[in-house]
Each structure stands twice: as structure tokens, then as C-alpha cells.
Copies of this chain bind each other. A is one copy, B any other.
Amino acid sequence: MGGSSNRIDDFSGVIDLESVVPRRVSPPPARGFFQALRQSLREVFFPDDPLYQFRGQTSFRKLVLALQYLFPIFQWGSQYSFSLLKSDVISGLTIASLAIPQGISYAKLANLPPIIGLYSSFVPPLVYAALGSSRDLAVGPVSIASLVMGSMLREAVSPEEPALHLQLAFTATLFAGVFQAFLGLMRLGFVLDFLSKPALIGFMGGSAIVVSLQQLKGLLGISHFTTKMGLLPVMESVLEHKPEWHWPTIAMSFSFLGFLFAARHIGLRWPKLFWVSAAAPLASVVLSTLLVYLFEAQKRGVQTIGHLQGGMNPSSVSKLLLHGQYLALAVKTGLVTGFLSLTEGIAVGRTFASLKNYQIDGNKEMMAIGLMNMAGSCTSCYVGRELQRRLENGGVEYSDGGAVLGTMLFLLPLFRCTPNAVLSAIIVAAVVGLVDARAAARLWRVDKLDFLACLSAFLGVLFFSVQTGLAVAVGISVSRILMHVTRPNTAELGSIPGTQSFQNLVHCGETRRVPSCLILGIESPILFANSTYLQERIMRWVREEEERVSTTKDYSTKCVILDLGAVTAIDSSGIEALTELKEALEKRSLLLLLANPLGAVTEKLYRSDAVELLWKNSLFLTLADAIAVAVSGHWPPTRG
């Protein structure tokens, strides 16, 4: 062909084709069906290869490792020393001083008797200490799960039936535990990833405000309060009951709120003074109880907790409702609260692990939390999760448990005079840190869609319900992934002169168009959800290229080359779409060549019939190979 050498000259300034010996793509090494299945199952369920320590060890060592794997207590138990015990006692007392008032407050949030909160701060930590692998977490009830449990149960059961409410709470805890342990055992921990962090930020912020709004009852000393959770009904109810506002209570509320916020600020500002913010809640409780007792403020209308039954966790096995009309409600509540308590717990654990450079097996952790909740549901506890422990030393939760036990056995009668207002103030001070406006602002700057997910979750919780917010958050997170696949980006590529590299023609100023070739980068897998779109979009690129050529009198287009470098997968619809595209382009006398396929795509193309018929001669290792073949007249190659 006389024209072909002439044509190559036109490319000299654009792309260096001299040294190119066009290479086709050879099929990847064949794998059997079961081998492929085994490999992909391993990647899905055991990506972190959790058993790698076991490889090449003796049987005895394997047994020791297995015991340590299942019960981490064996790992640190042998290294435990007196000095560790001492620091553990100190850290345990500090944690307990947080756990006792928070336990009582959160139980109120879940519409449960305050003692349940204390029970829940006692048994679960002991279970977790033996099973859990994170050394930096404390365990106990938590605000959002408490709120959700309370609101979900209250929707179906009137507050006049406290016994039924309690039974349902234990049953829901059991199902939360079963669900968590099941997820862990089946290594399905990745479902938690579908609640994206931006959505979580919005969700937590909204929940914190909803929780705080509920505290207006205690803070203002109102006796009649709405059972609804949304911003509007609560504000309406608060303003409607303005005559009930009890000014002495309000004065006390806000002074203690001020004290707690000041302590929190000190703890954040000077990390060494963390104990100030940790001790503030208990100090508030003690101080306010003393004040009420001394001034007999109860008689002046300040609401207090009232009589509390002391003692250790009684068994609650007989209270589990495993049949009957409320079973479905208990299961649903268990699933939602179990999911919620995991989501945040695992995230916090991972952050600590990455800070201190040790690895957390999320799935194992879930099993530990699940077993903890299952044990809890039989010992009068409700859904708990890991709580962040901000102290520097690791260790056991036992001393924490000891302090809580002491409280339950001996100090409970003293809480009789503790004012509700202070408990509310403690909750508000505890949850306000969850409203993270700075993180939301950062999202707006980096990624508008992330910000949208965050905002929707926030507003969903605030104006509708916590469950709605959760559903919105998961929905937006998931549809973002779907949208990304359904409407993938396509870009026209040009070569960087003097190299064999190609870049986006619009983004990269150095690039030059390759004459008579339309090079398109497809930036997504080609799946059923986008195969039609991609077909139409590529035809539009071709139409626009033809318009450009006829306007600028450029070389007429001979060839469309798809860069598959970012096509991470292809399914049967995708192969069909490419085949249809090839036929449609051939009707316009255009070649369709494919270049730069990844392994998985090559494998799939070779396995279908299509490659034999259509693609064998059109699939190239790199873009330069495809261009060299397309412009030098080597195409179509002779058979033989």
C-alpha cells in the first residue's frame, strides 16, 4: 500500500510509532471453575488472610495460637503484671465514673429503668474482656442505640406497659447479638461499609440533636412531654407547656450544663487534664444529689430519680419473648440497633488500631460484640457497644466492672435524690460532640455528593425519624455507587508527543489528537447497568467527531479505539453491547479496536464466543499497538 508509509509520516510529531511491534493480547492462564470460585470467595470473605500466622507452625503452637485467636485474654493474660494492674485500676475507676451516670441516663433514654443501664455497664465488659481484641475500647450502652430502641419500641407499646417494654428490650438485645455474631461468623462485616462516613456524620449529628431535644423535658422540668422525636413536634410541645417550666430546675440544669461543657473543653484543650472531663459527670451527680438532699429541693418540685432497687444483675432468660405478636417488632428493633451499635463501634476500633499500628479483625470483633449482647440479654442488659476509651494504657475492663458492681450493691440508694435535670445535662454534654460541623464543611469542599449524603441523613433524622435518617443515609450511599456505575465517564484521549503515553485531551494541555483515530477512554466496568448508555454515548462521540472533522477539514476518522485500561469488569450484556457497537460502526465504515484490557476482562472476552468471531484481531496490549496497526494498513490481518 503506497499510502501507508506516507500516513505514518503524519504521526511523527504526535506519537512515536517507529519502535512499536504490535502485540496482541494473549489469553490469561486458564483457571477451572472451582479454582476461580475458590479464589473469588477467598477475596470476598478472607481479604485480610486472618489465619496467615498459622501457616508452617507446629501443631502445639497452632493450638496455642487458636486459643489466643478465639480468646485474646490468653494473649495478654500471660504478660499481665502488677504495674499493669495498677494502671488498669486507675483507668477502670475513671471509666466507671463516666459509665455510672451515663448508664443511668441512657437507660432513661431507652425508656428503661435506670438500674438496667448499670447492669449493662457491668456484665458486657466482662464478656468483652475475654473475647474482644481491641485494647482501647470500653463497653457499655450508647446514646443512639438507646434512643432508637426506645423510639422503636414506643411506637408499638404504650409507656403504660413498662414490663412488656422491658421484655421487648431484652429480646431485641438478644436478636441484636445474634445478628452481630452471625455477621461476624459469616464474615459479612463488609455490609457495615455501606453506611458511608459522610452519611454517618450527618446521621450522628442529627441523632445527637434529637437526643438533646428529648432532654428538654428534664432540663426544663416539664412533666407533660410529647412522645414524638422530630424537631418540630418537640419544639411545639415545649412551647405549649411553657407554664410548666420550672425555673429552679432550669437554673440548676444550665449551671451544671455550663460546668460539664467547661470540663469537656478543658479535656479537649489539654489532653493531660482528660480526667477533669471524665470525672465531671460523676462529680455533677454527687454534687447535685447533695444539693437536693440538703435543701430538700424535691419538695420544691425538682424531679428526681426516686427509689432504686440495688443488687446484682438478675437473670432475664425468662423475660425473653421468643414467640407471639411482638416477635417481629423485637427482631426488627434488634437488627436496627445491632447494626447501629456495630457501625460506630467498629469505626472507632479501626481508628485506634490504625493510630497504634495494630490490626483489628472486624469480623472477629463483631462476633465478640454479638456474644457479649447475647450474654447481656440473659442478664438484664440491653444493647451495648464498644465505647471509646481515651486513656493511654490498655488492659482489662475488670476494675471498671468492679466499680460499677460496688455502685450497684452499696451506693444505689443514694441516687434516690439525684435530680433528672442533671442526668439530662450529662446526656446533652455527652452527645454534643457528635455534631461535627467542621467535618461537614470539609465534605462540602472536597465532594458535594458526600455533603449531600451527610445533609440528607441529618435532615432525615431531625425532621422525620432516626430510622428514616438511617434509611436515607444508606440509600444515598448505595445509590451513589450505582450512579457511578450507571453513568460512567468517557473521555477522548490524545497522545503526549514523543512518548507512548495517552492522556485526557481536555485535562492535559500537552496532548495532541492522533490523526484519523478517535481514542476513547471508558472509565467504568461495562455491565448491564451501563451497556446501553455506553453504546449510545460512544455513538454520540462518533457523531461529534464526524462533525468536528467536517468543520475543521481534519483527516477523516477511520478507526475508533477504546482504551479499556479502566474497565475493571465486563459481563454478558457488556460483551453484547461491544459486539453491537462494532456492527453499528462497521455500517459507517469505521473500525473498532480495543486496547489495554485488564486481566479479568481479557479472560471474559476469551471465554465468550464473541472473541473468536470478532475480537481476536482487534484486541491489543496497548493503545500504541492498536494505533500502529490501524494506521499502517496492517488491518485486517491476513488469516493463517
For A569, list chain B residues within 8 Å (CB): 484
Q: How far is the CB of A225 from chain B (nearest CB, A)?
A: 33
A350 surroundings in chain B (CB, below 8 A): 532
Question: CB-defined interface of A567-588 with B at 8 Å, one 1/0 digit per residue?
Answer: 1110111011000100010010
Of B477, B478, B540, B566, which contacts A568 at CB under 8 A?
B566
Q: What is the interface size of chain A, counting residues whose CB is below 8 A from a CB of the partner?
A: 92
Residues 19-50 of A contacting B (Cβ, < 8 Å) = 26, 28-29, 33, 37, 43-44, 47-49
For A476-492 the 0/1 string (1 means CB < 8 A from B) is 01101111111111010
Give residues 43-70 of A contacting B (CB, 8 Å). 43-44, 47-49, 52
Asked if B357 contacts A573 (CB within 8 A), the reply is: no
A525 close to B484 (CB less than 8 A): yes
Bound-complex Cα distance A174 to B496 (A):
57
Asked if residues A450 and B607 are in contact (CB atoms below 8 Å), the reply is no
Residue pair A48, B587 in contact (C-beta under 8 Å):
no
Which residues does chain B contribute within 8 Å of A521, judged by CB atoms?
Answer: 598
With both beta carbons as reference points, the residue of chain B lying nearest to A603 in the complex is identified as B507
- Taken together, the copies of this chain in the complex come to 2
When C-beta atoms are compared, the residue in chain B nearest to A48 turns out to be B536
Report whether A193 and B447 are in contact in the complex, using a CB–CB cutoff of 8 Å: no
| A420 CB contacts on chain B under 8 angstroms | none
Q: Which of B26, B487, B604 makes the CB contact (< 8 A) with A44? A: B487
Contacts A48-B536, A197-B528, A477-B528 given; does A572 touch B450 at CB 8 Å: yes
| Interface flag for A529 (CB, 8 Å) | yes
Binds B, one of A319-327, A379-387, A390-398, A498-506: A498-506
Q: Which residues of B contact A47 (CB under 8 A)?
A: 487, 533, 536-537, 540
- A180 located at the interface, meaning its Cβ lies under 8 Å from any Cβ of chain B in the complex: no
**Does A529 lie within 8 Å of B196, measured CB to CB?**
yes
Q: What CA separation (Å) do A580 and B359 show in the bound complex?
A: 13
* Chain B residues with CB below 8 A from A525, complex form: 484
Per-position contact with B for A530-573: 1 when CB-CB < 8 Å, else 0? 10110111011001000000000000000000000111110111
| Cα(A569)–Cα(B487), bound, Å | 12
A366 to chain B, nearest CB (A): 14
Chain B hits for A486, CB < 8 A: 190, 193-194
Q: Are A580 and B445 in contact (CB-based, < 8 A)?
A: no
- A83 close to B (CB within 8 Å): no
Contacting residue for A33 out of B26, B448, B496, CB 8 A: B448
Contact assessment for B599 and A491 in the assembled complex, using a CB-CB cutoff below 8 Å: yes
- Asked if A345 is an interface residue, CB under 8 A from chain B, the answer is no
Nearest-neighbour CB distance to chain B for A581, whole angstroms, equals 9
Contact A196 B573 (CB under 8 A): yes
Most B C-beta atoms less than 10 A away, residue of A43, A447, A489, A543: A447
Q: Is A354 an interface residue, CB under 8 A from the partner? A: yes
CB distance from A345 to the nearest CB of B (A): 14
Given contacts A477-B529, A536-B48, contact A566 B450 (CB under 8 A): no
Question: For the complex, is A265 an interface residue (Cβ under 8 Å from B)?
Answer: no
Which chain B residues border A443 with CB–CB below 8 Å?
572
In chain B, what residue has the closest Cβ to A622? B501
Contact in complex: A507, B599 (CB < 8 Å): yes
The complex places the Cα of A196 from the Cα of B526 at a distance, in Å, of 12
Q: Are A529 and B48 in contact (CB under 8 A)?
A: no
A193 near B528: Cβ-Cβ < 8 Å? yes
User: Can you list 7 A-B contacts with CB-CB less than 8 angstroms, sorted by A residue number?
Assistant: A193-B530, A197-B573, A359-B536, A359-B539, A362-B532, A445-B608, A565-B566
- Going nearest first, the 3 A-B pairs with the smallest beta carbon separation are A196-B528, A28-B507, A507-B599
